[in-house]
Amino acid sequence: MDTILIVNAGSSSVKFQVFEIEGAGGPRKRLKGQMDGIGTRPRLRAETPDKHSLIDQAFARDQVADVPAALATAGVWLREEQKIEPIAFGHRVVHGGPLFGEPVLIDDSVLAHLDNYVSLAPLHQPNNLAAIRAIRARFPDLPQIACFDTAFHRGHGALADHFAIPERLYEEGVRRYGFHGLSYEYIAGALQSVAPDIANGRVIVAHLGSGASMCALSSGRSVDSTMGFTALDGLPMGTRPGHIDPGVVLYLIMQKGMEPAAVQEMLYRESGLKGLSSISNDMRELQSSSEPRAQFAVDYFVHHVGLCAGMLAASLGGVDAFVFTAGIGENSPGIRARITEKLVWLGVTLDREANASGGPLISRPRSRVHAYVIPTDEELMIARHTLACLSKQPVRQTAMEAVTG
């Protein structure tokens, strides 16, 4: 059976999933895995959809020193042990800029444009593109599809899309893009089955992980988001600050004499929960710590989720449901409980037993605004977009038949 390989490359890990093409039934997950600890303690793990382990193997640091090496190592295992020869690759690409509002077949021109956005997403974009280039070098004839985290938000109205700066900058592409769009797109679709009564209503989705943002959905479409021009904006994150007065950046450069590269390093890698706590960027460690600074970092995170909920509720003109997703949102009942305390004024009444068990519905039956926990699946969204793009491309006939049914 034909397969596609979905790649989500980060700075120290490469996540991947293999999907079988099932015709009209859509992509079917065959396995998922990741190579983490790249350059430090490389480890390849993979499992089937029913959680059966396929591999759990460590490597020497110099064996997997970078993203291309991680892809090559995982690729050898996929080909030799799993007999997988994908007909195409789908990639998460964080920033699509003003040019790319939907998934696109990657060619030299697309890559050149995406290089222009590296400075706007330095934690993600370089690694996304490194994975694409590594695969192109080894399999130049296989199609690769870029799926953008910014694309889902491209329908924002002008009021949500603009900064209050000269219009010429907006025309150049300086605007509020929003991120985590693949996750929000999945949740918008999942609501149709999880909560059909509110799926077309006013919903706030909180994608809470090491990277965190929130999105206002109206009738399943993004109308506002906490992130803007870059993935620094909005909520405090693992190592990123979220909302910050731009005067702070001017102060660091003009008064403290910091070089722009040093400011970028601080904002992307030394701020957020890590900067507030001076302990860790991992919410699990902070919650288990008795250190006052760790508790302060957790309090700060919860406080700002509450603030942003109010902002998005105003943008929507009211709220029908609130959804938690991503690593923290899906796996931390304690954080969910603390955040819902901030949402009582909106009409959320938490069911503590349902919250402890993980939901999906975690609010009480009479809650005016319902709260849900819905696991996200960005890789499935990428697989769907990849197949949609493949159906428009001159790929192998067997693949075309599978895609089109």
Residue numbers annotated as active site: 149
Length of the chain: 405
Closest to 31 measured CA to CA, from 379, 405, 321, 287:
379
**308 in Cβ contact with 214 (< 8 Å):** yes
Contacts of 122 (CB under 8 A, 6+ apart): 264, 268
Q: Residue 370 gets which letter from DSSP?
A: E
Taking the CA atoms of the chain, what radius of gyration do you get in angstroms?
21
Separation of alpha carbons 9 and 128, rounded Å: 5
Q: Residue 120 gets which letter from DSSP?
A: G
Separation of alpha carbons 215 and 235, rounded Å: 11
Token code pair at residue 148: 């953008």
Over 166-209, what HEC string results? CHHHHHHCCCCCCCCHHHHHHHHHHHHHHCCCCCCCEEEEEEEC
